[in-house]
Amino acid sequence: METQVVASREEDPRYGRRAIVTGVILLGFALIYPPAFVTAGAGITALCAIPILVAGYLWGMWAGALTGLLIVPLTILELVALGVPQADLALKFGQGGPAIVLAMVAVGAVVGRLRDLGLQVGSESLARRASDRRYAELFENAHDVVFTYNLECELTNVNRATERLLGYSREELLGMDPGILIPGDQWDKVRLMLNDCLAGRPAPSPYEIEWLTRDGRIVILEISPLLLTENGAPIGIQGIARDATERKRIEETLRHQALHDPLTGLPNRTLLEDRLAQEVKRAERDEGVLGVMILDLEEFKAVNDTFGHQVGDDLLRQVGERLAAATRDVDTVARMGGDEFGIVLGGIRGEEEAATSAKRLLGALEESVLVEGQWISVGASVGIALFPQHGAEPAALMRRADVALYAAKRAGRGYSFYAAEDDQFNPRRLALRAELRDAIENGGLELHFQPQVECGSGRVVGVEALVRWRHPDHGLMLPDLFIPIAEHSGLMGQLTAWVIGEALNWSDLWSQQGRRLTVAVNLSALQLQDRQLPDAIAEAVRGHQASSGRLQIELTESAVMADAERALEILGSLSELGIRLSIDDFGTGYSSLSYLRQLPVQEIKIDRSFVVDLPRSESDAVIVRSIIDLGHNLGLSVVAEGVEEGAALTMLERLGCDLVQGYHLSRPLPALEFGRWLADREA
């Protein structure tokens, strides 16, 4: 809203001076006017006009009209007092008296109105100049980049922030070819912004446009445009912009880390499945063929056991490099987890070309790999499934490539194509499925607990419950090995119920000992799609009322985003049960801030990939600080997992993290051992 700067009559000294002048003039006329009238006779009209004009000019319309109304009768009274004969007065005023009075009133009113209009115009001009001055100050001193364009996309004005960001002076910018500032591939966005403004279409979000600085850097500006008009016609655009370069860089880093394996730098399973889905659509459209391969290293566990995990990790990195070098640019090589790799071959001609690719991959691994002074021989098996011969859906192709992989392993390395008759030959999987069911029902599973510690105080406030399977033949098995079996065999419901029940049993025991600990349990993406999940969890917590309020469910960011609408519904139901909710592996998925605000969660957990190298990685420090600030701004508690050294713990405390978890504090421990660890820590 515009504020007019207009002085009141009491405040403006001009009005005081005018009042004095008016009084002097009227007094003079009071003394001079009647004798002059007597002498001049017919000149009364002209003489009366003088005080009327003065009053109207100095005091406005009503003052002029009133003076015109009063001046004639006052003059007559004064003339009578001076002894002018009434006959002369009657002769002079006679029939023309009323006309004279009306003329005087009209003259006074017109002059006063003209004066009022002039004062109003002057006030408006003063206010407009003040408004323009304030706008210029705001424009020039704004922290955001502010600029104006004409309709030819030439800069017509910039503020200091624009000069600082781009490295050019105002004079240089205003005379510059727009092509120097904006790369060619950005002009479609510029034209879209201009057309939207001209058409009056509001933008749902700021326009992101790249600009070039004097030193050749590319900066990304988020521009909110406003159409400039003159007499109703568009003359250009004013843009208010913020430098989004650093935020976009962090987002791109997060996006890359969400879709790539941190160890090898290859695409991960998520990106592989996305690429496969795209290739299936392309093959359907073009009536083409594509191949899916799963490659598994032989004896990798023995390498880890013999040389240690560091050597195993280096081996995986070199294997990834060799596989990537042995494929075409259009193919996708991904690490799917452990020692398993996936490959998507797009646009191949058929089995023969797929077989050639498999031989090339196996050949790339024939030569021994040198790792930390050790020459290690690497063998592998490859399973292959083709579209559309072996399946039309991405999930079916992946599963059948896995079946083919086990067929290749039975044959003793090499490669194998999917064959329907091989589906019955997967003895390991079938055996594990039956054994897992028995373990759930008869006590073959156990929980290990990893503590969560409050930063600063060092107080243990919670634990994460991690299920383990103590297999009679294979030893202690981690969930990565048997959770997929449970998911594909319909055992996840039973497994989850057992984990929650067992976790709450221990929570009840610790509560009796005076230790109130939050117990976190992980759920998979598949479980989050089950609408019966809230009822199943409600059944599992029944009988544990003392501890049910301390149960926390952890879900990965990608699991929540897989079906955001259904996830929101199920999480809402869980929240109504009084269960705390946490987003695990935060920073590795795609969740938007607007969606995150809708989730009834109380906590986010920073993924360990950002924490492990925190003391040595500036980029990880920036990401961790951003996640902590984001969580706190949303009113959420922030947990960092993967704390494996004191330096990382110190940095997290300094950055304001709430809770920490990792091997620096304690590895996951069996329940009884965790109890002893906790007692020792409290002693």
> Which range is least confidently modeled, 125-134, 429-438, 581-590?
125-134
The better pLDDT of the pair 86, 61 is held by 86
Asked if the structure places residue 2 within a domain, the reply is no
Asked if the structure places residue 259 within a domain, the reply is no
Q: What is the chain's percent helix, strand, coil content, to nearest 5? A: 55, 20, 25
Report CA Rg, the chain. Answer: 43
Query: What is the rounded distance in angstroms from the CA atom of residue 216 to the CA atom of residue 167?
Result: 10
Helix (H, G, I), strand (E, B) or coil at 282: helix
The better pLDDT of the pair 320, 155 is held by 320
Q: Domain ends where: 218, 246, 274?
A: 246
Helix (H, G, I), strand (E, B) or coil at 37: helix
Asked if the structure places residue 332 within a domain, the reply is yes
Over 90: is that where the pLDDT of 444 sits? yes
pLDDT average, residue stretch 567-574? 88
Domain span including residue 311: 265-425
Over 90: is that where the pLDDT of 76 sits? no
Strands (E), 539-633: 551-556, 580-586, 603-606
Tens of pLDDT along 463-482? 999 999 998 887 888 887 78
CB atoms within 10 A of CB 538: 15
- pLDDT above 70 covers a percentage of the chain that reads 76
Over 50: is that where the pLDDT of 96 sits? no
pLDDT averaged over every residue in the chain? 80
Check whether residue 528 and residue 569 sit in a common domain: yes
For residue 168, the model assigns a pLDDT of: 92
Residue 6 pLDDT grade (very low, low, confident, very high; cuts 50, 70, 90): very low
**264, 314 in Cβ contact below 8 A?**
no
Residue 628 pLDDT grade (very low, low, confident, very high; cuts 50, 70, 90): very high
Assign residue 150 the CATH number of its domain.
3.30.450.20
For residue 485, the model assigns a pLDDT of: 80
Q: Domain ends where: 211, 246, 281?
A: 246
Query: What is the rounded distance in angstroms from the CA atom of residue 107 to the CA atom of residue 136?
Result: 43
Check whether residue 471 and residue 619 sit in a common domain: yes
Residue 448: CB partners within 8 Å, gap ≥ 6? 465, 466, 467, 468, 668, 669, 670, 671, 674
Check whether residue 554 and residue 478 sit in a common domain: yes
Asked if the structure places residue 166 within a domain, the reply is yes
pLDDT average, residue stretch 325-350? 92
Closest by CA position to 110, among listed 160, 153, 57: 57
Half-sphere exposure of 624 (CA within 13 A, CB side): 32
Residue 595: CB partners within 8 Å, gap ≥ 6? 561, 564
Check whether residue 96 and residue 30 sit in a common domain: yes
The better pLDDT of the pair 649, 237 is held by 649
Over 80: is that where the pLDDT of 609 sits? yes
pLDDT average, residue stretch 430-453? 91
Over 80: is that where the pLDDT of 60 sits? no
Check whether residue 349 and residue 303 sit in a common domain: yes
Over 90: is that where the pLDDT of 298 sits? no
For residue 308, the model assigns a pLDDT of: 82
Tens of pLDDT along 199-219? 888 777 788 889 899 998 999
Paired tokens of 261: 């394996």
Burial of 187 (0-12, 13-18, 19+ CB in 10 A): middle
Check whether residue 213 and residue 123 sit in a common domain: no
Asked if the structure places residue 255 within a domain, the reply is no
Over 70: is that where the pLDDT of 173 sits? yes
Residue 451: CB partners within 8 Å, gap ≥ 6? 460, 462, 463, 661, 665, 666, 674, 677, 678
The better pLDDT of the pair 196, 34 is held by 196
- Output the CA torsion sign for 297, 301, 302, 305: positive
Residue 40 pLDDT grade (very low, low, confident, very high; cuts 50, 70, 90): very low
Number of domains in the chain: 4
Asked if the structure places residue 254 within a domain, the reply is no
Q: Domain ends where: 139, 156, 180?
A: 139
pLDDT average, residue stretch 541-553? 76
Asked if the structure places residue 368 within a domain, the reply is yes
Check whether residue 91 and residue 222 sit in a common domain: no
Check whether residue 491 and residue 635 sit in a common domain: yes
Check whether residue 412 and residue 464 sit in a common domain: no
> Which range is least confidently modeled, 336-345, 547-556, 621-630?
547-556
Assign residue 550 the CATH number of its domain.
3.20.20.450
Query: What is the rounded distance in angstroms from the CA atom of residue 55 to the CA atom of residue 64?
Result: 5
Check whether residue 172 and residue 288 sit in a common domain: no
For residue 181, the model assigns a pLDDT of: 87
Q: State the angle between helix axes of 269-286 and 245-259 in degrees (0 to 180), rounded to the nearest 10.
A: 80
Query: What is the rounded distance in angstroms from the CA atom of residue 527 to the CA atom of residue 487?
Result: 9
The better pLDDT of the pair 645, 556 is held by 645
Assign residue 320 the CATH number of its domain.
3.30.70.270
pLDDT average, residue stretch 547-566? 79
Check whether residue 238 and residue 279 sit in a common domain: no
For residue 1, the model assigns a pLDDT of: 32
Query: What is the rounded distance in angstroms from the CA atom of residue 670 to the CA atom of residue 420?
Result: 43
Closest by CA position to 606, among listed 527, 681, 660: 660
Check whether residue 485 and residue 541 sit in a common domain: yes
The better pLDDT of the pair 304, 656 is held by 656
Paired tokens of 135: 């706008």
Over 60: is that where the pLDDT of 268 sits? yes
**369, 378 in Cβ contact below 8 A?**
yes
Asked if the structure places residue 8 within a domain, the reply is no
For residue 27, the model assigns a pLDDT of: 44
**623, 586 in Cβ contact below 8 A?**
no
Residue 11 pLDDT grade (very low, low, confident, very high; cuts 50, 70, 90): very low
